[in-house]
Amino acid sequence: MELTATRSTVEPPAGHAGARLIVVAVGAVTMNLVAALLIEEAASRPGRLSLLTVVLLGLAFAVNGARFLLWRLAHRRYRFADVMPLTALFFPLVGVVSWLKGESMSWQSVGGIILITAGAWTLARGVDADVD
């Protein structure tokens, strides 16, 4: 028995599909980090549950909802095999956020960030070739 997908995807216009996919992936991953930072801030509030804590958690929930809609768009327009590997862009963005928060980074971390980013860029170039 052969398993095949019956759902067709809507192909984006040729030429810049990979660049658009990278923008969507970075946007979704950034939303994930923003939600995590909002939750971290809410958790670091001292004492009882305050209005600010509830607002921060509500914002995190809203950002995650928007992220879900963005990933839905990506999965409707691009092949699963192209979208999912780009979730690895989470790791370079975590490194950037960590550095912005004053945490130190080793050369191994910087090297890993460069390799992951290069891999995402290489994958995105292949998306254009698939769509053309």
- Encode pLDDT of 72-90 as tens digits: 998 888 888 888 888 888 8
For residues 26-42, give the mean pLDDT: 93
DSSP conformational letter for 44: T
Domain ranges of the chain: 17-123
CA dist 72 → 2, 27, 78, 113 (Å)? 26, 13, 10, 26
Question: What's at 57, amino acid-wise?
Answer: L
* Per-residue pLDDT band at 63 (split at 50, 70, 90): very high
Read off the tokens for 36: 């995590």
Helix, strand or coil, per DSSP, at residue 34 = helix
Measured distance CA(5)–CA(76) in Å, rounded: 13
Measured distance CA(98)–CA(70) in Å, rounded: 24
Q: What is the pLDDT of residues 10-19, one digit of tens each?
A: 554 555 788 8
